[in-house]
Amino acid sequence: MIAMPCVDVMDKACVDECPIDCIYEGDRMLYIHPDECIDCGACEPACPVEAIFFEDDLPSEFSGYIAVNAGFFTSIGSPGGAPRGGPVAGDHPLVAALPLQADDGALA
């Protein structure tokens, strides 16, 4: 799962590490496709803001991001790999409603 620390940061180091291209880019954060991910964990140490968690290790304050990651794919389904051409338009409604984050991770 990718959680709130990714919002408005999107470093994308995790995308480079993913061997199956299951990390998709929205407008404000990245999302892991739950049906495409093979749970290899390659992306987790690459994240500079520690936004990536295995589902069982997700801190309780980010528990809503299980539904956020799954819900992002409701309209696009399972394309079988993230497009390299850029972001998928939009974000999950919870992410879209968040205030913009400042460069230092604080609310702007």
Given a contact cutoff of 8 angstroms between Cβ atoms, the answer to whether 69 and 60 are in contact is: no
What is the phi/psi pair of residue 101, to 5°?
-95, 140
Cα–Cα distance measured from residue 22 to residue 83, given in angstroms and rounded to the nearest whole number: 9
User: Residue 11's domain spans which residues?
Assistant: 4-77
For residue 33, the domain's CATH number is 3.30.70.20
Predicted TM-score of the model (pTM): 0.86
Residue 48 domain flag: yes
Residue 97 domain flag: no
Q: pLDDT at position 80, please?
A: 76
Total count of domains within the chain: 1
Q: What distance, in Å, lies between the first and last C-alpha atoms of the chain?
A: 24
pLDDT above 90: percentage of residues in the chain? 65
Mean pLDDT over each residue of the chain, to the nearest integer: 88
Q: 108 pLDDT exceeds 50?
A: no
103 band by pLDDT with thresholds 50, 70 and 90: low
Residues 37-54 have pLDDT tens digits of: 999 999 999 999 999 999
